[in-house]
Every structure is written in C-alpha cells, then in structure tokens.
Amino acid sequence: MSGSRRRKSRASLVILVLCLAAAGTWGYLSYTDRPAPPPGVNAASQAEAQQQSTLVDQEELRIMQTRATLSSALARGGPAAAQARVPHISSSANGQTLVLPQRREPYRVADLERLGLEEFQKQSDDSYVLSINVFLGPGAKLVLQNATGPLVIRMASEPGRFVSIVGFGASIRINGSAQNPVRITSWDAQARTADTKVSDGRAYLRAVGGELKMSHTLVEHLGFWSGPTGGLALTGSDRPTGTADQVRATQADPGSAASRQRMLLPNGLLVPSRGSDDRVEITDGAGARKVVYRLPEANLATGFITDTKITGNAYGIFITASDETRISNVSVTGSLVHGVLLHRFARNASVENTTVTGSRGDGFVLSRGTQNVTITGSVAERNTGNGFTISGLPLARGPSASGESLRSFGGSSLISSTARDNGRYGVEIQGGVKPVVQTTEVVGGEMGIVVSKDATDVQISGNRLRGQRIQGIALRDGVLSARVSGNIVRDTQTAIYLRDAKATISANTVQSASLHAISVLGAAEGTAITGNTLGGAGRSAIDTGRAKGNLAVAQNNTGGWQDTAGFWTTVKRIAKPMNLVWFGVIMLIVVAALRAIRSDGPRVGHRIVNPYEKQAALEERPVWTLRTAGARAPAERS
C-alpha cells in the first residue's frame, strides 16, 4: 500500500472515530437533557400522577358542561326547559350523568332506584350499587336514609371508570342513626371489595355550594388526587356565580339593602368588604352620576357532619369557600393525604370532638385564607406530618397576577385538644393574627408547638407538653407580641426556645429539661422572662448569651436546676467579651507590679538582696581618741 493510501486510511479511521464519539456525546447529552422526574418519584408514579391530574380536569369539565347545559335549557324556555325540569340522563365525552333538577320534594333512595334503572340496583345483600354519575342542580334536594335497616351504597370504582355524587347549589342530606348507619363506599365489582387504588381515579362525594348534612354515616375509601375529588368535599366560591348579563347598574342609595351587597367595579374587579357599610361610589365619565355595580352573593358552601367515621379517603374531609360549617364527633382514619383540611376562605367553622389518626400528611390543616376557625376537644394521633397546622399567612407577599390581598388571616384557635406521637410537630402555626393554642396536650414528636413567620399576638397558655425530641415550645422568625404562660413542659432538650422573636414568657413550669429550660437567640428586644419555675439538668436554666437587645429576666425559680456544663462549656460561658477585657486589665496591673518589684536593687542570681549587705561596719574608738584628733587638727593646719 502506498504512503498516500495509508494516509487516507488513517484519516478515514480518525474521521470514523470522531463521528462515533460525536454520536455518543450527542446521545448522552440528549439523554441527560431530558427532564428528570422529581426526587423520590419514579417513572411509574409520575405517569400515575399525570393520569390522576388528567382525570381531575375531565371531572371539572364534565361538571361544568352538565351545569351549563342545564342552565342554558332552563333559560331558553319552551320544550327545552320543560325537558330540563325533569330528571334526565346527560351524555358527554366524559361519561353519562343522571341530572336531578330542582323540584318541591327531595329525591330519595326509591327515586334513584326508579330513575337509575340498571345503574342503581339493589343487591342480594340489600346494598345498592351506583354505576352512574349523579348531579343535583341548584335548589335540588337529595336525602339518603333507610328507616328499616342499614343503608349501604357502593359507588362503582374500578379500572377504567368511577362515579360521583355532586350537588351544585343543592342540598345533600345523609341521615343514618346509631342503630342503622348509612354506609357509602367505593366498589370494585371485579375484586368484590372497596377500591384502594387511586391511580386510575376513584368514586367521590362533593357539594359545590349549597349544603351537605351528614350524620351517623360510614364513609370508606373515596377520592383521589385533589381536594374537590378527595372523597368527601364541600367546595364553594368566594366569587358570585352570576354572569355578566346579570350585572345591573343602579343609583347608589346608602340606606338601601343594595349597599350591603358585594359590588363589581367597571373593570371587573370585585369590591371587598369595607367595614359595616360596603358602599362604593363610582362616578361616571362625565363626573355627574354615582352608581354601584352589583352581583349575586358569593356561592359559599355550608355543612354539618356529625357522628361519622371516615376511613381511607384521599382527603378525609376537604372544605373550601364555606361559612359556618360544623364538624362534630367524627373519626378520620388512614387518609392518603390530610385528615381534615379547611382550605381557602373556609370561615367561621368549628371542629369538635374529632379524631384524625394515621394520615400520611397532617392531621388537621387550616390553610391560608381560613379565618375564625375553632378546633375543640379533638385528637391528632400518629400522623406522618403535623398533628395540627394553622396558617394565617397572606395569599400573596407582593404583586400577583390575580391581585390577591396582602393582609394576614387570623382568629383561629386550638383548645383542649391532643396531639400525640405525630411524625413532625404537634402544633405548627405559620403567620396570622391572634392565633390561640390553649389547654392542649402535646406528646412526642420532633417539636411540640412551633410558631413562625411573623405571627402576631400569639397566645400559648395552659398547655401540657412532654417527650419532644428537640424543643417543647418554639417561637421563631419574626414572631411578635407572643404570650407564653402557664404551660408545663417536661422531658425534652430545650423546653422554651425563642429565635428572632419577641415574647412574654411567664409562670411556666419546666421539668426534666436536658439542655436549657429557656433559650433565647437572635433579636429579642422587649422579651420578658419572669416568674417561671425551671427544673432539669443541663448547660443552663436560662440561656440568653446569644440574644440581642434588652431582655427582662427576673424572679425565676431555678432551684431545681442542676448545671451539668463541662469544662469548655464553662469556659465559653465565662469568656464573654467584657469579661475578657476586664481580665486583660487586671493581668496588666499584676504584670506591671511584678516587674516593678523585680527592678528594685541588685540581684544575686534570681534572689533579691539587701543593698547594704556587703558594706563593713565602722571601727569603734574611745571618746578621748576622737577629742585628741579634733585638737590636733588646728595645729596641723597652722
């Protein structure tokens, strides 16, 4: 082979190698540039999540289409309205729905059996299987009860399809009794058991606006993915449900009922409440006439759920945009997300004697936008997250696309309740105004009661905490005007902990703390620590060495505290800046004195000696000799 051919072969080989390397590099980059699944989520679970999200969107679309079709038919009048006023089946791309429009009498089990035909059939065990979606129009009423025995409704929920019962501005009442409870559960006909798989959707019950009243009911294995489809949901809207065609401009009258209604400005923004008088005067372009723009009232949901057991729902109970909802004597177990969740604009609600156990998320959650919610006599136990979470944070921190308010929410309280052995905190308060935690017992958990994120006027009083792994009561990150009083905290590292917070800590009792009874760090100007009884064995009873600002610390009883600080801890405690300065001054004085002593007179080796030690004594002479010498001296001078 000639030299030129060999050179061409080598060049071809090099080009081939470079091409292969480039291809490999491109393949590697193409692979690594693909979006990675979220941490902890594998490809299968990510696909399931996408599937559930898509199903939620389809459900929302089906409900909107059903509502719009019914409203449109009633508005047109004529034969279409006549047909819409009677129960009928509506079909769409997302399934069939039995539509129950408003009528004078409520719909009952017998009506569902008659109208649903083969889609609502009684089984040999006297239970019913519901195989079609049910939609109640505005003003309709559905009553589910059975006076002769227990009523069991199994809602079809199997691979490929599931059903729901949804009321839109309607009334749903489920009335059981202690002897004959109503049981509502999902049902997989193929497996002959409740549906416990949520990846392909699951049956659910929801009230959109209107009301939901439930008593002596067993709710089992309902819901998937979102709050509205979470199992048992009350969802309203803080926005009026009227259309633009229903908006009317009227002359403003300060004394009329119109001045008490919500109003819509010409730019389409809903005017918020303004004190006791909600009037807003709007001047027209010519500056002559003042008018107000009115819409129907907001479509808030309300509910009353009592003496009910809920097991295995996605969300045990989900509530949003509601007013004066009451939950009493309810047990929620094994929720896939949270146990009881009150979401945005759930207001003036009360939760009493309710127990949430074993949720994968938090036990009770009052999220941002909730206000004036009271939880009393309730228990959160062995939940993966917090026992109770209360958020009063504003809906936005700055400019937002929807123009949300920057104000904080508040007025919620937790009273005489129990948080036991939850995975994270017993109680967590995030922001808000005037939150209260009172006479509540917190056992175990990483921390007991944690308050953070600029919460204001917090009251934590009369609570009993024990066995937290790190801290009992912790206030941090901008908490202002907090009052921590009358609490008993024991068996934890640091009983009461403040970091960048201002609080009055008084009349608390600490037992068996192993690090600090009270520890204050960071900005704490105006904090007062008075009248506390502190016991335990640790580095210090009251740790304020790392605090900034003026603190008032007085009249605390630390007789029961045993200081176990080690040598270096003691050194660090003593080695404060001012202590070091004074120590240096004293050492300078001592060194100077020693040097002055050593510099006085000659030395023999390192011994200080008498300066006259080596001088000889004077010779002793008789007196007469001195006289003779004195008389001879003049003669000699002459």
pLDDT 10s digits, 255-290: 333 333 333 333 333 333 333 333 434 444 444 444
Q: What confidence tier does 250 reach under pLDDT thresholds 50, 70, 90?
A: very low
Domain ranges in the chain?
51-240+284-360
Helix (H) or strand (E) holding 128: strand 128-130
pLDDT at 452: 96
For the chain, give the percent of residues with pLDDT over 90: 61
For the segment 576-580, the average pLDDT, to the nearest whole number, is: 68
For the chain, give the percent of residues with pLDDT over 70: 75
Q: Which two tokens stand for residue 67?
A: 């509502």
pLDDT at 16: 36
pLDDT at 595: 77
pLDDT at 40: 39
Q: Among 138-147, 428-437, 535-544, 560-569, name the one with the lowest average pLDDT.
A: 560-569
For the segment 45-70, the average pLDDT, to the nearest whole number, is: 90
Nearest CA among 365, 375, 437, 373 for reference residue 411: 373
For the segment 30-39, the average pLDDT, to the nearest whole number, is: 34
Q: What is the Cα–Cα distance from 186 to 204, expressed in whole angstroms?
A: 8
For the whole prediction, is pTM greater than 0.95? no
pLDDT at 587: 83
Q: What confidence tier does 299 reach under pLDDT thresholds 50, 70, 90?
A: confident
Side-chain-facing half-sphere of 338: CA atoms under 13 Å = 20
Q: What confidence tier does 486 reach under pLDDT thresholds 50, 70, 90?
A: very high
Q: Which two tokens stand for residue 457?
A: 């006027």
Residue 252 or 158, more confident: 158
Q: Among 43-47, 124-128, 356-360, name the one with the lowest average pLDDT.
A: 43-47
Q: Is 228 in contact with 187 (CB distance < 8 Å)?
A: no
pLDDT at 625: 58
Q: What is the Cα–Cα distance from 380 to 95, expressed in whole angstroms?
A: 39
Nearest CA among 66, 231, 52, 44 for reference residue 137: 66
Q: Is 63 in contact with 166 (CB distance < 8 Å)?
A: yes
Q: How many CB atoms lie within 10 A of CB 187?
A: 27
For the segment 103-126, the average pLDDT, to the nearest whole number, is: 92
pLDDT at 32: 29
Q: What is the Cα–Cα distance from 213 to 301, expressed in whole angstroms?
A: 11
Q: What is the Cα–Cα distance from 223 to 234, expressed in whole angstroms?
A: 13
Helices (H) and strands (E) in the chain, counts: 7, 53
Q: What confidence tier does 47 reach under pLDDT thresholds 50, 70, 90?
A: confident
For the segment 488-497, the average pLDDT, to the nearest whole number, is: 98
Q: Which pairing describes strands 509-513 and 488-490: parallel, antiparallel, or unpaired?
A: parallel
pLDDT per residue over 367-399, tens digit each? Answer: 999 999 999 999 999 999 999 999 999 888 888
What is the chain's mean pLDDT, rounded? 81
The CATH number assigned to the domain with range 51-240+284-360 reads 2.160.20.10
| Residue given tokens 């192993």 in the structure block | 514
243: region left, alpha or beta (phi > 0 left; psi from -120 to 50 alpha): beta
Q: How far is CA 244 from CA 194, 248, 294, 621, in A?
A: 44, 9, 10, 140
For the segment 169-191, the average pLDDT, to the nearest whole number, is: 95
pLDDT at 30: 29
**pLDDT surpassing 80 at residue 342:** yes
Q: What is the 3-state secondary structure (H, E, C) of 562-619?
A: EECCCHHHHHHHHCCHHHHHHHHHHHHHHHHHHHHHHCCCCEECCEECCCCCCCCCCC
Q: How many CB atoms lie within 10 A of CB 497?
A: 24
